[in-house]
Amino acid sequence: MEAEGFVFAGAADRFPTLGYSIAEADDDHNLPDCRPSPYNMAMEVTQILLEAQSVDGSVRKRAEENLRQFQEQNLPGFLLSLSGELANNDKPVDSRKLAGLILKNALDAKEQHRKNELTQRWLSLDVAVKASIKGCLLQTLSSPVPDARSTASQVIAKIASIELPHNQWPELISSLLSNTHQLKPHVKQATLETLGYICEEVSPDVVDQVEVNNILTAVVQGMNASEGNSDVRLAATRALYNALGFAQENFTNDMERDYIMRVVCEATLSPDLKIRQAAFECLVAISSTYYEKLAAYMQDIFSITAKAVREDEEPVALQAIEFWSSICDEEIEILDEYGTDFSADSEVPCFYFIKQALPALVPMLLETLLKQEEDQDQDEGAWNIAMAGGTCLGLVARTVGDDIVPLVMPFIQENITKPDWRQREAATYAFGSILEGPSPDKLTPIVNVALNFMLNALVSDPNNHVKDTTAWTLGRIFEFLHGSIVETPIITQENCQHILTVLLQSMKDVPNVAEKACGALFFLAQGYEDVGSSSPLSPFFPEIIPALLTVTHREDAGESRLRTAAYETLNEVVRCSSDETAPTVMQLVPLIMAELLRTLEMQKLSLEEREKQNELQGLLCGCLQVIIQKLGAAEPAKYVFMQYVDQIMDLFLRVFASRNATVHEEAMLAIGALAYATGSNFAKYMQGFYPYLEMGLQNFEEYQVCATTVGVVGDLCRALEEKILPFCDGIMTQLLKDLSSNQLHRSVKPPIFSCFGDIALAIGENFEKYLIYAMPMLQSAAELSVHVAAADDEMIEYTNQLRNGILEAYSGIFQGFKSSPKTQLLMPYAPHILQFLDSLYRKKDMDEAVMKTAIGVLGDLADTLGSNAGALINQAVSSKDFLEECLSSDDPLIKESAEWAKLAIARAISV
């Protein structure tokens, strides 16, 4: 192969050795000085690092304080000390490991703002200090101590993630690659591990293709069966997993791709379990990253995965099943996006791998269902071959639809009545797994035959596992084959009572069965969501509600998520109930209030009890929210409900006294519902509630609480309208602070912009005093949202959310000022807003929600500013081409907005 591709043969001769290399670690020349320096002689760091791990709390605390002071007073010395400690083979393993961990934490953090701070701090360090630290880390890779090597690998990768994007440490990769020819296996292993971590940390675009080729060459050579050391081979296989994102170009080259695939497939047959598992993990990653390149290998991969699923140990078998689940995910996504309409411009064609493999794949998966474990339900996080097989079977059903049914039915019929519980459970699991995907026409006749059998099994099967899976399968039947979307109902007046009797009886069973029975009732209720004034469940309401409340009070309701499931089902039953059951729902109000009061009055709780109390308070607030929404929307019931509002509000304010994020979020949502239900009457609660509203808006750490609170401000604006004015200074100040903060999670910012619109709409021209603060922020955010490079789907989605929030703000502001003598205050901002709309139109990357809001803003601008802005509107691209595009949209909402905008523009221009 050419030099610019892979370097397979004679690679040792071609690797340049730049900078410091571990190959030289045993010589006395060219070594970084990792002995105690003037910096790290400032204190005996080894002793302090050991004391920081002491079982004695006071010793540990004193040591942590010493480390903190050392870091604050002399950061370069502190980092040099740590790197020297990590590199020193005479030091204890425990102090070296902690030194490396602290070093890593000095370079990286989960919170983006903190990560940015640490990055800047490292970049601003003296070059000589950084060089010395990096030298020590590279030297550590040759340490005989595995923990020290592994820690150093991770720290090197963190530094690489900071420096490589800034074109610093350019010699790092070649320096590491030169060490892969070391005869010492432990040095090779550590170097490959480091390369893997670097590929995990660094974006592919900061490493040039020649270096990518060299990394892949080194990694694939390390994976080769000829590599005698299994530690080296494992490190190489794990490194390839992280390096796959870098291999885009190599995977387009048939020869290089063939070589990678051959080496990966060979590694799946290694005698070492961990290597086999890591190789299958690579195959799973390849299936999602390079789906379109797999056709030539699928026959071999099927043989390899089938052998692993049937014969290998569980960790390997699970990854082999995961490969097929991943292929399903890819094909489901392609089919969802393109349907069967593949044309030359389809980005990725569907190769129908699953359809082709179906006759062999389905029997293999059905076999896995018979490999259940006796205690598989006891551990909530349990995952085994049977569960993985069932999950994959479900994905196969979604991928191929009706074609799966004839392949699975014989297995179900053969096993469903067998004396061995494993066979009955596997048959039931198979049936439940294929209920999403095939058409209702195909499944309904089978379900009609099976329903009675399953209801009887849920009550009378002697085995707990069979009952558990049966209840889950009933839930799936009600989720996918019941409701307004299904033409032939499987639940009729005749069998409804029997179904409910069985489900309510099963709620008294052991927790895991009762939890699944609650889930089945959840989907049963949800199927009647659209039936209108009278629901088939209504006559059974007086039985259903007490049965669910009884479950919440069970001694063992804490097991298998049972209490949570019962409340979620109660909420769904209430949410989907019809008006005729409002009196029964009304009876719930004092009961749930009493429950919430009881949790507030519990005294002197242990930590575990407090956690349970918080969880229960969150569930009760969530339940009250649903009840408020239901009764607030039903006129006769609403009048009766209003007598409880004072007490409910008092309870919510008491809930805020507890410092728990989940409870705060649920209570906030419930208050939003209460404000909506009570309208302008909510004003009397604002004085007492405002401090908690402000507290929610200031909650940067638990950003979901902040986001929920922003949403509640919108609810309050709609409920109170001008009555919210006395609180607007405080609210706007806090919202502006939130937007200026780099600590607040970015997901909260779009709703804050949208909230500006809600406030302006509520207070009209009184928004005048906030314009000078809000408009520049909207303007800079708008510019950012147009020029941001959308690197991935997540970023594209966020950018559209941001644009939508900005546009909703503009829309609310224009509508708020409409018919006011102060509309001219908005004129200076009109050119920029029109320019923003033009830019969005030219970018061609709006989603439909943004499109609808954007054309609405054009209409609002024309409607509010009228002839004052006529000339500007006339010049805007968006008012012609964009408007035309929206008018011919298939989306009725976009079309409706565009027609309204067209009228408003015509009025503005004609005057």
3-state secondary structure 336-352: HHHCCCCCCCCCCCCCC
Per-residue pLDDT tens digits for 497-555: 999 999 999 999 999 999 999 999 999 999 988 776 678 888 899 999 999 999 999 99
Read off the amino acid at residue 649. Answer: M
315 — pLDDT class (breaks 50, 70, 90)? very high
* pLDDT value at residue 33: 56
Residue 882 DSSP class: I
Lowest mean pLDDT among 4-13, 495-504, 779-788, 821-830: 4-13
CA distances from 593 to 579, 586, 598 (A): 22, 12, 9
46 — pLDDT class (breaks 50, 70, 90)? confident
* pLDDT value at residue 109: 86
* pLDDT value at residue 877: 80
- Tell me what the pLDDT averaged over the chain comes to: 88
Which range is most confident: 73-77, 733-737, 797-801? 733-737
Per-residue pLDDT tens digits for 561-619: 999 999 999 999 999 888 888 888 999 999 999 999 998 888 777 888 888 888 999 99
* Tally of helices (H runs) and strands (E runs) in the chain: 43, 0
* Average confidence (pLDDT) over 263-277: 94
- The two structure tokens encoding residue 248: 């885009």
* 169 Rama class: left (phi>0) / alpha (psi -120 to 50) / beta: left
Handedness of CA 205, 210, 215, 216 (dihedral sign): positive
Neighbours of 145 (CB within 10 A): 17
* Average confidence (pLDDT) over 464-479: 95
* 544 Rama class: left (phi>0) / alpha (psi -120 to 50) / beta: alpha
DSSP string computed for 60-104: HHHHHHHHHHHHHH-HHHHHHHHHHHHH-TTS-HHHHHHHHHHHH
Rounded CA separation 159/129 (Å): 13
| H/E run at residue 287 | helix 273-289
CA 784 and chain centroid, separation? 24
* Average confidence (pLDDT) over 261-281: 95
Position 382 pLDDT exceeds 80? no
Per-residue pLDDT tens digits for 688-716: 999 999 999 998 888 899 999 999 999 99
Per the listing, tokens 């993990």 go with: 281
**Cβ contacts of 59 within 8 Å, gap of 6 or more:** 51
Lowest mean pLDDT among 689-698, 717-726, 786-795: 786-795
Read off the amino acid at residue 549. Answer: L
* Cα angle 27, 33, 39; round to 5: 165
- The two structure tokens encoding residue 162: 């900071």
Rounded CA separation 585/554 (Å): 22
* Average confidence (pLDDT) over 21-32: 40
* pLDDT value at residue 609: 84
Cβ–Cβ < 8 Å for 207, 226:
no
Closest to 429 in 3D by CA, of 476, 462, 396? 476
- The two structure tokens encoding residue 295: 């056709």
* Average confidence (pLDDT) over 876-903: 90
* pLDDT value at residue 203: 87
Rounded CA separation 641/681 (Å): 14
User: Between these two residues, 690 and 34, which has the higher pLDDT value?
Assistant: 690
User: Between these two residues, 131 and 791, which has the higher pLDDT value?
Assistant: 131
User: Between these two residues, 762 and 36, which has the higher pLDDT value?
Assistant: 762
Position 17 pLDDT exceeds 50? no
Position 305 pLDDT exceeds 60? yes
116 — pLDDT class (breaks 50, 70, 90)? confident
5 — pLDDT class (breaks 50, 70, 90)? very low
Neighbours of 900 (CB within 10 A): 17
Closest to 784 in 3D by CA, of 836, 849, 745? 836
Per the listing, tokens 């299994």 go with: 230
* pLDDT value at residue 179: 78
Per-residue buried b or exposed e for 424-451, using 16+ beta carbons within 10 Å of the residue's own CB? bbbbbbbbbbbbbbbebebbbebbeebb
Cβ–Cβ < 8 Å for 471, 425:
no
* pLDDT value at residue 411: 95
**Cβ contacts of 747 within 8 Å, gap of 6 or more:** 703, 707, 798, 801
Closest to 855 in 3D by CA, of 783, 903, 907? 903
Position 20 pLDDT exceeds 80? no
CA 709 and chain centroid, separation? 21
Closest to 178 in 3D by CA, of 7, 19, 410? 19
Handedness of CA 875, 878, 882, 883 (dihedral sign): negative
Closest to 587 in 3D by CA, of 600, 598, 577? 577
Cβ–Cβ < 8 Å for 293, 360:
no
Q: Exposure of 141 by Cβ count < 10 A (0-12 exposed, 13-18 middle, 19+ buried)? A: buried
* pLDDT value at residue 44: 82
Per-residue pLDDT tens digits for 412-431: 999 999 999 999 999 999 99
Rounded CA separation 365/324 (Å): 10
Position 687 pLDDT exceeds 90? yes
Position 29 pLDDT exceeds 60? no
Rounded CA separation 636/634 (Å): 6
CA distances from 100 to 86, 104, 139, 152, 154 (A): 6, 6, 13, 6, 9
Neighbours of 105 (CB within 10 A): 12
CA 719 and chain centroid, separation? 32
- The two structure tokens encoding residue 137: 């880390």
* pLDDT value at residue 387: 93
The values of phi and psi at residue 259, to 5°, are -65, -45
* pLDDT value at residue 353: 94
Q: Exposure of 292 by Cβ count < 10 A (0-12 exposed, 13-18 middle, 19+ buried)? A: middle
Cβ–Cβ < 8 Å for 133, 79:
yes
- The two structure tokens encoding residue 743: 């600590």
Q: At what angle are helices 830-843 and 848-865 packed, to 10 degrees?
A: 150
Cβ–Cβ < 8 Å for 206, 165:
yes
Position 458 pLDDT exceeds 80? yes
Read off the amino acid at residue 862. Answer: A
Cβ–Cβ < 8 Å for 786, 839:
yes
Rounded CA separation 886/682 (Å): 39
Per-residue pLDDT tens digits for 202-218: 888 888 888 889 899 98
Lowest mean pLDDT among 172-181, 196-205, 336-345: 336-345
